[in-house]
Amino acid sequence: MKTRITELLGIEHPIIQGGMHHVGLAEMAAAVSNAGGLGIITGLTQGTPEKLAAEIARCKTMTDKPFGVNITFLPSMTPPDYPGLIQAVIDGGVKVVETAGNNPAPYMPALKEAGIIVIHKCTSVRHALKAEKVGCDAVSVDGFECGGHPGEDDIPNFILLPRAADELTIPFVSSGGMADARSLVASLAMGAEGMNMGTRFIATKEAPVHDNVKAAILAATELDTRLVMRPLRNTERVLNNPAVERLLEKEKALGADIKIEDILPEVAGVYPRIMKEGDMDAGAWSCGMVAGLINDVPTVQELMDRIMSEADSLIKERLAGL
């Protein structure tokens, strides 16, 4: 399948693995790239330029296909060494960067001078248009269904994707609620050039996370996620658990007076305990509503082959026969 995204990125299938904290390691990215998609290493999981450089080098021993690096720009009193992380990407010869969070404009000159393709994650059409204006080559349009941070507008993809198609000239991929061939074909019908999957890739054999994480996704339905940190205007969709219930109780009790310090026990430093140790009640962790569509743990190759084969059937048989 050829789309503007496959042509731009030099990949076989229009499927991107989104950057995910403590999931987007070299083995995850390489598995997706080897299966014909675009794998993504999560830069902030590595934390320092030196560790990111090592992870890029490790990924290159596992695949000779294109892969990217996610760099999320977060407001912080002690921000990461963003120029150093970008230099590690440049020095490592990575040609695709997925940016997220704050406006990537301050870092665009360095990225573009190095010939790097920039895909920015957006949760609204206005942010997507801004990304286009500052020189991003493509955007990932994240609907309200997505795991992680869906923004504050609460627009689902059945509205957001056609709106993006109406406004953008650069190519975009869908994100949020994407799991299978139906997701891909529907995204293409609404104007996207491919799709970005996060939660679905966690439930694969190669995903470098504890089996308890994969089991939790399989056991979950579309009703089992919660929105946290909404009073802080940093909304995150997470899988429900006792820690999330405690967090929501704090939000209810403190109301507009809540501060990030009040919920640190539920959100600070919990990812290694969850993803590596399998302590599923350690805190809040990102998971999309798409968990309700996930019923198995295939290899990445099996998943990708199934999506593309079923997408072909949907397009050539079901839709063509209507």
* C-alpha separations of 1 from 171, 188, 237 in Å: 15, 11, 32
Whether 22 has a pLDDT exceeding 90, the answer reads: yes
Per-residue pLDDT averaged across 173-177, rounded? 98
For residue 103, which of 141, 70, 74 has the smallest C-alpha distance?
A: 74
Per-residue pLDDT averaged across 15-31, rounded? 97
How many C-beta atoms surround the C-beta of residue 99 within 10 A? 28
Whether 76 has a pLDDT exceeding 90, the answer reads: no
Contact 81, 59 (CB under 8 A): no
Per-residue pLDDT averaged across 57-83, rounded? 94
State what percent of residues in the chain have pLDDT above 90: 98
Whether 10 has a pLDDT exceeding 90, the answer reads: yes
Whether 78 has a pLDDT exceeding 90, the answer reads: no
Whether 178 has a pLDDT exceeding 90, the answer reads: yes
pLDDT tens for 248-261 read 999 999 999 999 99
Q: Is residue 278 very low, low, confident or very high in pLDDT (cuts 50, 70, 90)? A: very high
pLDDT tens for 137-163 read 999 999 999 999 999 999 999 999 999
**What residue ranges define each of the domains in the chain, with the CATH number in brackets?**
4-207 (3.20.20.70)
* C-alpha separations of 299 from 56, 78, 244, 311 in Å: 22, 38, 30, 18
Per-residue pLDDT averaged across 121-147, rounded? 98
CA distance 55 to 71: 14
Whether 77 has a pLDDT exceeding 80, the answer reads: no
Q: Is 70 helix (H, G, I), strand (E, B) or coil?
A: strand
Contact 16, 194 (CB under 8 A): yes
Q: Show the DSSP H helices in 124-207 as ranges.
A: 125-133, 157-167, 181-189, 199-202
Per-residue pLDDT averaged across 41-46, rounded? 97
pLDDT at 321 (0 to 100): 84
pLDDT tens for 302-320 read 999 999 999 999 999 999 9
Model's pTM, two decimal places? Answer: 0.97
Whether 219 has a pLDDT exceeding 90, the answer reads: yes
